[in-house]
Each structure stands twice: as C-alpha cells, then as structure tokens.
Amino acid sequence: MQDAWITSSAGIIAALAAVASLFFLLEKKTAWKLFNYFPPLIFIYLIPVVLSNTSVIPNKAPVYDFMGANILPMFLVIMLLDVDLLATIRVMGKGIFVMLLGTLGVVVGAPIAYMLVSHGLGPEAWKGFGALAGSWIGGTGNMLAVGQMVGLDESSLEFGYAVIADNAVYLIWLPIMLGSKNFAGWFHKFTRVSSDRLERMEAAAKELTTDKGKVEMRHFLYLIFLGFAVTALSTWIAGQLEPIRTAAGQIIVSANTYKILLVTVFGVTLSFTPASKIPSSHAFSMALIYLFVARMGAKADLSNIDVSVLWFLLGAFIWIFIHGFFLLVAARLFRVDVHTAAIASAANIGGAASAPIVAAYHKPALVPVSILMALLGYAIGNPVAYGAALLCRFFG
C-alpha cells in the first residue's frame, strides 16, 4: 500500500473524530429514517475502513497502539462508573434474570455455532468469536476489551469478520426486537405475565433519578484522573502476575487479560463510591468508544478478505437464534412481558447504543433503566465473554 496522505498522530485522531462527529451531526440535524436502520456506529466503522484502505490515513500507526494500551481501559473505567445494580434490580425485577439467561445463551451459543462452522474458518477464528461475544454481552467497548484479552489484533481478518457479523446481525435482530411489540398479546399469553407487572415497573421507573447535576470543567478532570489512574494501576499489577498456561505451554491468561479484568473490577468497585455521581461520565465514555470504533475501522485491512467471512456470518446467525431461544425460555420461566424481554435482548446484543432505541419504541418510561441494563452487561461482559472465547477454543 502506498504512503498515506495523513500520517501525524494529531491528523489521524482529527480524521477519526471528524468521521465520528459527522454522522452524529447528520443524525441530529436531518432526522433521516436511514439512521433508524443503519445507526451512526456502522458508518463510524466503515468510513475509516475506506480511508485506510485507500491510503488517506494509515492502517498502522503508533497512535493506534497508544489508544489501545491507554484509552481503551480508560473509557472502560469511566463507563462502569454508571453501573447501578440496585436501581436496575428495583425497576426491572425478574427482567434482570431474563437478561442474564440471554447472556447465558450467548455463552452457550458461541461454541455450538463455532463447532458447526469452524471447518470453514482459520485456526484463530475462535478469537473473533470471543470478541463478538464481548459485543453481544456488553457492547462495542467489551468487543475491544475481549479482543485484547485473547490477543486479537484489530487489523486481523478475524476481528474484521467479528465486526461485519456484529453489524449484519444487528440489522436483522433490531427490527425483530422492535417488531416484537406487535405480538404482545400472543407473547403475554405464552409467558403468562401478571396483569399488573407493567404498571409496577413503570411506577418504579418514574422514581429513578438519572440527573447528576450541571457539568463543570472539574468533572472532566476527575474522570480523566480516574480513568488513567486505574489504567496505570491495573497495568502495573498485571505486569507482576505470571501468565496462566496450558500443559502444552499455551498462554490462557496473559498480562492483557489480567489488565482488562482488573480494570473491570476497579471500575465496578468505583460505581459504589461517590465517583458514580460525577456528571457527564456516560457521555464522555461513549464519545471515547465511538472514537475507538473509528480506530477499529482504520486498522482493518481488506486485502486478505476471503470466502471464510461467509462461514463466520453463518455461525453468527446460528448463534443469535440460540440466544433468542434462551430469551424465550427465560421470559416464560420468569413470566415477563414482551417489552422487558426485548429490552433485555437489546441490552445484550446492542448495548447502550441500542437498548434505549428498543425501550423508546416499546415503553418510553423504561429508557433510563434500559441504559442501566446495558451497563450491567458492560460490567459482566469482559470476564463472561472471555469464558465464551475459551469454550470456542477448547470445543471448536
């Protein structure tokens, strides 16, 4: 590939930020229905793919490495500050168990789907399934984190396939979750939901306080300090720990794995402290995530893409319907409504970007708690998805 036009670190970050901000600007200013089906996230990934594969920006640069080592764990910490387990349980009640069984469906479905299609994939494809599990349990941030935990480079085919499959399934699954509202009558007969569940849930949601107050300059300094401090501490501790290996000497738990797990533990711990009250933490972390999504696209190399992507996609669609089966079983077992089930699935598969969309369509009063459910997925996504990756590795 010829030399890129933009090569400086500042120029690369500016280009990535420009792409990310442009599509949110278009969504805000135009109100195009296109964004109901193709959210900004898709374009924020695809446009940098085009830019880096046409030599506008490079697909390898030191700034990408810095972002992977420092910005990724930083935004994980800031994002996890918003986890409010007690409030989520109070409002959603048994809906939490539906979400967790949906998560179990992702974990169980991963090795099943992988075993069915692994003959058409390369030996490292289990890492791509692990990264995709991260996205489907928590969100894009978890996809990135689990990718680091399993040693998957964002420029690899496997990571690219995971992103392609994530977006392809999203385009099918989101309309299903939205359209499920039209089958509420049948669904509620199937699950035998109590007639007053919705009233109690909406009443609890109205008592949920999400406003943290006015944002001031010092709040950003607090968040930057916490993010980098936890990153530095986790990196140091991880460097002191010995990798865990198999009998054959293959590394199962690396320094990066330790680092992400420590970041997750510290972030969730901070959510029980006054740090959780810092305004703008969610918006700040989401902005960093979208910048990181653009980085993912910029690192993608399309030159080696082949027919194996079709096998990966087939595995992903088998996998998502296993998740759906677990979700239906959980909804009947815990007798919940279609709105709760749809939000629970969206909190898994789409994360904080999709759960509010589904909630707003089903029951607008549940938008705040849908975000909390997605954040719960973020909290458990890294270790659980890493477990799914190991299952694919050992049973695939």
**pLDDT tens-digit series, residues 117-161:** 999 998 889 999 999 999 999 887 788 889 888 988 877 888 889
- Average pLDDT in the 364-375 region? 78
| 88-92, 150-154, 370-374: least confidently modelled range | 88-92
pLDDT band at 391 (very low <50, low <70, confident <90, very high): very high
In 3D, which of 250, 189, 197, 190 has the Cα closest to residue 91?
197
What is the pLDDT, as a whole number, of residue 396?
A: 66
Query: Tell me: the pLDDT tens digits for 205-230?
Result: 666 666 778 889 999 999 999 999 99
Query: Does the structure show a pLDDT above 80 at 351?
Result: no
Query: Tell me: the pLDDT tens digits for 235-278?
Result: 999 999 988 876 656 667 788 888 888 988 898 899 889 998 99
- In residues, how long is the chain? 396
What is the pLDDT, as a whole number, of residue 63?
A: 93
Contact partners, residue 261, CB within 8 Å, separation at least 6 = 149, 382, 383, 386
Using the structure block, give the residue that is written with the tokens 């980098």: 228
- Average pLDDT in the 287-305 region? 81
267-276, 291-300, 318-327, range with greatest mean pLDDT: 318-327
What is the pLDDT, as a whole number, of residue 385?
A: 93
User: Tokens in use for 229?
Assistant: 């401090």
Query: Tell me: the pLDDT tens digits for 353-365?
Result: 678 778 877 877 7
* CA distances for 195 relative to 88, 145, 199, 244, angstroms: 21, 41, 8, 51
Query: Does the structure show a pLDDT above 60 at 197?
Result: yes
- Average pLDDT in the 360-381 region? 80
What is the pLDDT, as a whole number, of residue 83?
A: 79
Using the structure block, give the residue that is written with the tokens 């499920």: 180
What is the pLDDT, as a whole number, of residue 129?
A: 96
7-11, 49-53, 173-177, 263-267, range with greatest mean pLDDT: 7-11
- Average pLDDT in the 10-15 region? 95
pLDDT band at 107 (very low <50, low <70, confident <90, very high): very high
pLDDT band at 382 (very low <50, low <70, confident <90, very high): confident
Q: Is 312 helix (H, G, I), strand (E, B) or coil?
A: helix
DSSP type of residue 4: P
pLDDT band at 196 (very low <50, low <70, confident <90, very high): confident
CA separation for the pair 296, 314 (Å, rounded): 23
What is the pLDDT, as a whole number, of residue 329?
A: 94
Backbone angles phi, psi at 253, to 5 degrees: -120, 110
What is the pLDDT, as a whole number, of residue 325?
A: 95
% of the chain with per-residue pLDDT over 90:
36
Top-confidence residue, 89 or 304: 89
8 Å CB contact between 388 and 121: no
Query: Does the structure show a pLDDT above 60 at 177?
Result: yes
